[in-house]
A and B are shown apart, each in its own frame.
Chain A
Amino acid sequence: MSRRSSGFTLVELLVVIAIIGILVGLLLPAVQAAREAARRMQCSNNLKQSGLAILNYESAYKKFPPGNITDGNCCGTPSHTVWSVAILPFIEQANLNGTYNPNLPIEDPANSFLRQQNMPSYNCPSDPSAGKLLVPASGPHNNLQSRTSSYRGMGGVGWGFNGEYQYRRQWDSSDILRPECPINKKGVLHWTGRVNGQANKYACETFGSISDGSSNTLMVGEYTTITTPRRTTFWAYSYTSFALSTATPESRTLLADYSLCASQGNSNPCKRAFGSLHSGGAIQFVRADGSVNPIFPTIDMTVYASLSTVAGGETFADPL
């Protein structure tokens, strides 16, 4: 009996391994794509929740929350509440809201517990820089850390070209003492700056003031950056642009890469940018009617600027 002992030859083994390798190679990208799709879905659900909380805030107070409140003139001046703090009672975080002392600036060490709180519903799962403790890149932070997040409010058109580019900042929270901001360029969560001792300079928005239509008005969108991590979003550090962005009609401000944007021109529009790491650079926004839709870095800047304002009076065909 000279039968070969049962077993696999080398060639058989190699063939099997090769087949398994090919199958894994086919499967892995599909699995990764499915995982990213799920992360993106969770990301848009977080936005939806924030949008509903803002609408509930509007139901309770008959006005939208302030984008942010910064005292006095640029730079390093005290800052106060911000949309993402104002809606805390409406996302079942009333206890956390109770730790905020609104009589002190939000960057005061007494408010560190609030600023350092990790808020999973403000973190996009596709955003690797969310949920970290970092010292923000600028402002009166006193080298205190704050918690990073993924979503910023839409304050309106911050810089604009049609006749105003470079010479006229528009709805930018560091321009508090400038002449009046152009009313047709304001966003639904614009800053309501105040000069020390005075009432807010600009009133919060109401549904009645969104004459462009709430479904055509961006409210909260994603921002993260793969470079310069201290320029990412900080949900409770309300100084100028860390939780509130404005639209600049240049596509470099929609790339989720602060350094790449800043290498192409004035860096200040890059600090007030939007951007995400989803495929195609899709930036999800919740609009003032509570719907969540993406825009892309290839969007027509006229459309983008129109979507970012509440009462520009523009008519255009929404690309969606």
Chain B
Amino acid sequence: MAFSCVVVVGCGSGNTAKVEGVVTLDGKPLPDIRILFQPENKDSENLGVGSFGLTDSEGKFVLLLSDSESEGATVGNHTVILSDKLTEDPEDSDAGFAKVPKSRIPRKYSKSPPTFEVKAGVVNQAEIALTS
């Protein structure tokens, strides 16, 4: 059964597993939020690049690997970096000095980012429930 999961889901490839989830703020879904999963390679065995995702209108996201844009995230512990796509610097600007619009992500989550452990062999469900 476990084997068939690995085969069907394709999560046996390398050291990655699928991750999908939803970002909510006070119970309401948050669209246009960028999610970065950055592995904490403290055990030096789960070496891997980070993953990224963007929430849709229902706050849902699927993570893609940073280097190949294929689905998944490195197995192991991650720091979850959330940022607001609507308030980031415009692509063609240099690092602006102008006052940045207020991000919808409460500041406390920047000071101590959430963590998430990606498990091998399953489709990981990352429910990121923020409170303001």
A, B bound: yes
Q: Residues on A close to B: CB < 8 A?
A: 73-76, 138-139, 161, 163-167, 169, 172, 174-175, 177, 240, 249-252, 254-255, 260, 262, 264-268, 271, 281, 296-303, 317, 319
A–B Cβ pairs within 8 angstroms, 18 of them? A74-B97, A75-B93, A75-B97, A165-B110, A167-B107, A240-B94, A251-B38, A255-B49, A262-B91, A265-B34, A266-B89, A267-B89, A268-B94, A299-B41, A300-B40, A300-B44, A301-B79, A317-B44
- Minimal beta-carbon separation of B93 from chain A (angstroms): 7
Q: Residues on B close to A: CB < 8 A?
A: 34, 36, 38-42, 44, 47-50, 52, 66-67, 69, 79, 81, 83, 88-89, 91-97, 103, 105, 107, 110-113
Q: Which residues of A contact B83 (CB under 8 A)?
A: 166, 265-266
A165 touches B103 (CB 8 A): no
Q: Which residues of B contact A166 (CB under 8 A)?
A: 83, 103, 105, 110
Cα-based distance from A260 to B68 in the complex (angstroms): 9
Cα-based distance from A251 to B34 in the complex (angstroms): 15
Q: Which residues of B contact A165 (CB under 8 A)?
A: 81, 110, 113
Q: Which residues of B contact A76 (CB under 8 A)?
A: 94
Q: A250 touches which one: B42, B50, B67, B103 (CB < 8 A)?
A: B50
- Minimal beta-carbon separation of B4 from chain A (angstroms): 29
Complex A-B, nearest 9 residue pairs according to Cβ-Cβ distance, in ascending order: A300-B41, A264-B52, A298-B47, A174-B95, A251-B49, A251-B50, A75-B94, A252-B66, A74-B97
Q: What DSSP secondary structure best describes chain A's contact surface?
A: loop
- Minimal beta-carbon separation of A253 from chain B (angstroms): 9
Q: Which residues of A contact B48 (CB under 8 A)?
A: 298
Q: Which residues of A contact B94 (CB under 8 A)?
A: 74-76, 138-139, 174, 240, 268, 271
Cα-based distance from A73 to B97 in the complex (angstroms): 8
Among A169, A271, A299, A300, max chain B CB count under 10 A is at A300
Cα-based distance from A135 to B24 in the complex (angstroms): 43
A264 touches B66 (CB 8 A): yes
- Minimal beta-carbon separation of B13 from chain A (angstroms): 16
Extra contacts, 10 of them, besides A73-B97, A74-B96, A175-B97 (Cβ < 8 A), are A74-B97, A76-B94, A161-B79, A165-B110, A240-B95, A255-B67, A268-B94, A297-B67, A300-B39, A302-B42
Q: A252 touches which one: B42, B50, B105 (CB < 8 A)?
A: B50
A250 touches B36 (CB 8 A): yes
B95 touches A255 (CB 8 A): no
> Which residue of A is nearest B41, CB measured?
A300
- Minimal beta-carbon separation of B46 from chain A (angstroms): 9
Cα-based distance from A169 to B97 in the complex (angstroms): 10
Cα-based distance from A253 to B77 in the complex (angstroms): 20
B97 touches A174 (CB 8 A): yes
Q: B44 touches which one: A163, A164, A281, A319 (CB < 8 A)?
A: A319
- Minimal beta-carbon separation of A10 from chain B (angstroms): 45
Q: Which residues of A contact B112 (CB under 8 A)?
A: 163
B36 touches A75 (CB 8 A): no
Q: A161 touches which one: B49, B67, B81, B91 (CB < 8 A)?
A: B81
Q: Which residues of A contact B111 (CB under 8 A)?
A: 163
Cα-based distance from A165 to B107 in the complex (angstroms): 10
Q: Which residues of A contact B49 (CB under 8 A)?
A: 251-252, 254-255, 297-298
- Minimal beta-carbon separation of A213 from chain B (angstroms): 20
- Minimal beta-carbon separation of B97 from chain A (angstroms): 4
A302-B40 contact in complex given A161-B79, A166-B83, A167-B107, C-beta closer than 8 Å? yes
Cα-based distance from A317 to B52 in the complex (angstroms): 28
Q: Which residues of B contact A302 (CB under 8 A)?
A: 40, 42
> Which residue of A is nearest B87, CB measured?
A166
- Minimal beta-carbon separation of B76 from chain A (angstroms): 11
Q: Which residues of A contact B103 (CB under 8 A)?
A: 166
Among A251, A266, A301, max chain B CB count under 10 A is at A251
> Which residue of A is nearest B34, CB measured?
A265
> Which residue of B is nearest A268, CB measured?
B95
Cα-based distance from A252 to B94 in the complex (angstroms): 19
- Minimal beta-carbon separation of A275 from chain B (angstroms): 10
